[in-house]
Amino acid sequence: MNLLTKNVGVKDKMARIGIGGLLILLTATGSIGPWGLIGLLPLITGLMGTCPAYTLLGIHTGDKSESAAG
């Protein structure tokens, strides 16, 4: 089982990057506490296009052409 298999689709990537970036931005501006650094997790998985938890659970949010290319 390869935990770095591309399994995050385009819409999922955009959501992860947006939410992760927002949490980090809110933390940096002091709007929320340091717990907002948890935004690093969705940001990194969105940028990499892979989610180890998805692999363990057998989830793939991309379309079939993405899985063949990745």
* pLDDT computed for residue 66 by the predictor: 55
* pLDDT computed for residue 63 by the predictor: 78
**pTM across the whole model:** 0.83
Contact 23, 49 (CB under 8 A): no
Chain centroid to CA 48: 7
In whole numbers, what is the pLDDT of the chain averaged over residues? 90
Contact 51, 20 (CB under 8 A): no
Q: Which whole number is the average pLDDT over 28-57?
A: 95
Cα–Cα distance, 44 to 54 (Å, whole number): 14
62 vs 48, more confident: 48
Buried b or exposed e, range 22-52, using 16+ CB within 10 angstroms: ebbeebeeeeeeeebeebeebbebbeebbbe
* pLDDT computed for residue 19 by the predictor: 98
Q: How confident is the model at residue 4 (pLDDT cuts 50, 70, 90)?
A: confident
